Amino acid sequence: MTAIKERFAEVVRNAELKSIAAIKFSSEVKNRSEFERADIVVDLRDRTRWTIESGRDSTNAEVDFELKITSRGEDRDTFLFSAGITYEVKYDFPTPLPEDKVTSEALKLFMGNNPRYNAWPFLREYLNYATAYASLPPLTLPLLKPFAYEEKKQNRIERSLNTSV
């Protein structure tokens, strides 16, 4: 096993998820009648920012998710729905991590990915709730799978509508 993989495994073993909290959220609905069309396009983007607390025994991350739903038209796309939410994700490290370059790289890898994966179920629930609360067909995001997400994120995520609203 390479040094970075060993350190990454150490970071994962030592990390304890302390909390996940929504700290900012919003949604907007327009052109509700367009949701009945079959050519709905869902575009989901995310960004993660994080900090290491002094003593290297905890980290805080903010994960922003932005969702935009449009209907594809012949001439142009029509805006239908948008939602944004920011989660604060906190981790504790009961055993402080060593301060070396390999550990720093492993921690960057951990913090660049894990907060997104830990917040994903909460995002799924929020979007399902937000669309239902707006009397729109429910939106259910797929299970987040490592590597497959990055590939899908580059393209637009297509979905079929559940018309049982």
The domains of the chain, with CATH numbers, are 3-154 (3.10.420.10)
Q: What is the pLDDT of residue 158?
A: 40
Q: What is the pLDDT of residue 55?
A: 63
Q: What is the pLDDT of residue 37?
A: 67
In tens, the pLDDT along 5-14 reads 888 888 888 8
State yes or no: pLDDT of 96 exceeds 90: no
Q: From residue 5, how far is each of 11, 18, 35, 85, 100 by CA, in Å?
A: 10, 24, 45, 32, 14
Q: What is the mean pLDDT of residues 124-149?
A: 80
DSSP state, residue 28: E
State yes or no: pLDDT of 149 exceeds 80: no
Q: What is the DSSP string of 108-148?
A: HHHHHHHHHHHHHHHHHHHHHHHHHHTT-----PPPP-TTH
Beta-strand relationship, 78-92 and 157-158: unpaired
Give the residue carrying structure tokens 């739903």. Answer: 69
Q: What is the pLDDT of residue 160?
A: 35
Task: Quote the CA–CA distance of 18 and 118 in Å, as a whole number.
Answer: 11
In tens, the pLDDT along 50-94 reads 987 766 688 899 999 999 988 887 788 888 899 999 999 999 988
Binned at pLDDT 50, 70 and 90, residue 136 comes out as confident
Note whether 28 and 123 are within 8 A (CB).
Answer: no
**pLDDT, greater one: 117 or 143:** 117
Note whether 85 and 126 are within 8 A (CB).
Answer: yes
Task: Quote the CA–CA distance of 94 and 26 in Å, as a whole number.
Answer: 35
Task: Quote the CA–CA distance of 165 and 134 in Å, as a whole number.
Answer: 11
